[in-house]
Structure 1
């Protein structure tokens, strides 16, 4: 006589325990996609933050002047301009010079080469750092100094020679500052643009390379004519 045998399942405790162990072992070796995505997202965000910080650090010093009331753009002095300024520095070795808005420091180094003790005042920290390194490379570091500062916050009474590559919008304010702080025996050298309504003691060059030389008395005389 035939017997129909129904399939049986082993539900013993040992069998169930083995099955659970296998499932837990398998799940522990499966990659956790959510954790992987989180780590990748954090890496991307971190990379973007670092990149933006680097770009900002490079560009902000160059862009920040655009948000100031008076903008003094960075335009390097030409070789002719530098030679013209150095021509009026002859015989002033040992005197103290300040270049207001010194840019890449080329004029400060040129003044040091003429024997002056030269200081560059510049707002752009990148240009200040470059100027220091370039002065060191040229061997003038003992007679040069570069400061990150607003030129209008610089005390001009400490200097024998004051140089400025200015713009028209600032020259009236500069004239007032010179009247207050310029020493009686000091010399002011204006490049690119002259002081308004002031007759210079000397003028050298032509066009954009012109330099105007003023004494304190030149500036004071302009007030009596006003």
Structure 2
């Protein structure tokens, strides 16, 4: 056999060895790429809200917090909304007590999970869950509002709710109270404390504050001539 034939045979055997390795590399690369895409798809809805200037982080309500919310609303009925509903536990518990309950949440995975939980627990007909930014939604239709807020957003939320809610509404704040509203009463202690606010009271305070701002403090006598 000539040297040229030996060289060709050797080259062919090397090609045969390289192809399987190249195919394996493509498979590994594809698997890793797919895993990264899947990880991003799952993690992005949890991470993205944290990058917003004011956001509601997902911190599941404790059983004591849920019980306290239901306790302070035990004499109430009608519609209820949980702002930043997370995994839906407040909405589902309220629906079991007879409320027509809704939840608004930015994280689509949590919304889909909430819908599944509501269906599995038999309250899907009296619950609804929406993927939405709370600042882009009007809460005027709700007579009971529950909010697990953070201090950075509570002053802005005061103005929003005071301008939208009917005077018969009640607002329940969990973990953090509103900065200027005076609660009717509270329930629980520590991180499980909830504060209850009457819309008629905080709406009148808002109107009074606006009136004071638009009314001159001093009147020039010369302006009173007829």
TM-score by length of 2: 0.81
Could you list the runs of 5+ residues in structure 2 that have no partner in the other structure? 213-226
**DSSP 3-state at the match of 1:98:** strand
Aligned to 1:47: 31
Aligned to 2:189: 206
Q: Is 1:121 aligned to 2:121, yes or no?
A: no
Aligned residues: 204
Q: 1:156 to 1:81 in 2, by over 3 A?
A: same
Distance 2:38 2:205 in 1: 49
Could you list the runs of 5+ residues in structure 1 that have no partner in the other structure? 1-21
Single out whichever of 107-116 and 31-40 deviates more from structure 2: 31-40
| 1:96 aligned to which of 79, 98, 111 | 79
Q: Is 1:153 aligned to 2:136, yes or no?
A: yes
Contact 1:102 1:121 in 2 (8 A): yes
**DSSP 3-state at the match of 2:195:** strand
Shift of 1:221: 4.2
Aligned to 1:4: none
Post-superposition Cα deviations, 1:94-140, rounded to whole Å, max 9, x if no partner, equal: x1111000111111011001100000111111111111111111111
TM-score by length of 1: 0.81
**DSSP 3-state at the match of 1:102:** coil
Shift of 1:88: 2.2
Aligned to 2:159: 176
Distance 1:199 1:92 in 2: 20
Aligned to 2:54: 70
Post-superposition Cα deviations, 1:64-94, rounded to whole Å, max 9, x if no partner, equal: 122110131111111111111101222333x
Q: 1:104 to 1:169 in 2, by over 3 A?
A: same
Post-superposition Cα deviations, 1:163-215, rounded to whole Å, max 9, x if no partner, equal: 10111100011001112211221111111111112111222222221111112
RMSD, aligned α-carbons: 2.3
Shift of 1:34: 4.4
Aligned to 1:56: 40
Distance 1:208 1:37 in 2: 57
Shift of 1:219: 1.6
